[in-house]
Structure 1
């Protein structure tokens, strides 16, 4: 019997590439997104069921999972990819923006997991892959809220891996570095929030931050290809992989730094890298 994967956030980026990867490997794919009526590519491929799913809505999650099970009979893997970022100082985000990011990036992951896990327990097998970020390994300037959501999902994943192993369910996290997807365009930046002092500071640091990221990618000598993430997702579902996984030359460089020095030294090094000198 063919295996089936449910993937959230398939309208673009890692989600769409992962849907194509699984389909090309002979899997059935429940490709979910908030606006499936706008999709013009995945719905033309065999064995892909494109359907609506808004991770912030219990009703939407329940319907998508139910419709997917009706279509293919079971769910062997779940990929929690839906999410978005945002850059600003903590006080520049409104309370509504903070809650909204947690609602999608953290509670949305929990919501979909809680709907799918009972089915996996019943069949005594399954894989859950949570897409996080290198911001879930370290705090970065202008990413306090986003980092908080991704640290939460890294911790959630590690705990779930222990909780659900006895049921035959593997739970893993994948933390990409900086990749060229629509993620940046969909980020919720708010450099204009707050008073004049903090607006000036965030704009200046933000410009320097992006320059450093570009330099890191150039120094790595590799072009960041989002397909690497899609391939890693498939690998984590089909092979014996660790709970925590990183993808991208810049991510590997940063993880190497984290592992090679005391944490405070690493934080001080980031300060030197990411904060403008004048």
Structure 2
């Protein structure tokens, strides 16, 4: 397999980290995270590149992608796994928590996709895998803001996938159910379904989509649903 240049947004924990672990042995991986200590720890552990990047800042996203292009020349794929949890009834959420969820899950997703597609279009090929949530397709009580921000990402991805007019640039999305991750720990185990997938299991599907070749079957716009350990 030819080594590819891949970016994993939110690659220092949870699903992003699990995907990066699967990729580093055969590919050149760069992890993005807004936590400098995690970037240092993960890059040392995996032997990959990393960038401190708060996706809610367009300038940081732009500069992060530019640094990858400076290092490797191309970007073959981008997995966007960064997300901020906002659990609780709307009345109980602070304005600060609401703002941060919108900044990361909506604005951050927009900035990442804008820059990713800029570079993929310049090259004429590449894959983007957006990590949504099953809450988008199966509404759950108690997480209205989180669901709304993830619904924004889904709508954006679907529109962008249609706009590419080429299978060589694939824009896809994966919707996992609740997983035992750092984000999940903030919610509490009671939010987990009785049957659920571990990040390591879902990461295999992120990797499969990320490594699709430009001439593979037309799958841009594909929505993969994974609610638990089964299909």
Deviations 1:84-126 (A, max 9, x none): 2222111221333222201101110110111121211111101
Measure how far apart 1:225 and its partner are: 2.1
Measure how far apart 1:167 and its partner are: 7.1
SS of 1:54's equivalent?
A: coil
Q: TM-score, normalised by structure 1?
A: 0.73
For 1:53-202, list aligned pairs within 5 A.
53-166=53-166, 168-186=168-186
The equivalent residue for 1:247 is 226
Structure number with higher helix proportion: 1
SS of 1:91's equivalent?
A: helix
Q: TM-score, normalised by structure 2?
A: 0.87
Distance 1:248 1:227, change over 3 A: farther
Deviations 1:184-220 (A, max 9, x none): 2345xxxxxxxxxxxxxxxxxxx9x927x44x32xxx
The equivalent residue for 1:9 is 10
Unaligned runs of 5+ in 1: 188-206, 218-222, 253-278
SS of 2:190's equivalent?
A: helix
Unaligned runs of 5+ in 2: none
Distance 1:108 1:186, change over 3 A: farther
Paired with 2:95 and 2:37, the residues of 1 have a C-alpha distance of 31
**Structure with greater Cα Rg:** 1
Measure how far apart 1:53 and its partner are: 0.9
Answer yes or no: is 1:227 the counterpart of 2:207: no
The equivalent residue for 1:196 is none
Paired with 1:71 and 1:43, the residues of 2 have a C-alpha distance of 18
SS of 1:140's equivalent?
A: coil
Deviations 1:13-46 (A, max 9, x none): 111111111112x111111111234432433434
Paired with 1:114 and 1:249, the residues of 2 have a C-alpha distance of 30
SS of 2:6's equivalent?
A: strand
Paired with 1:40 and 1:179, the residues of 2 have a C-alpha distance of 22
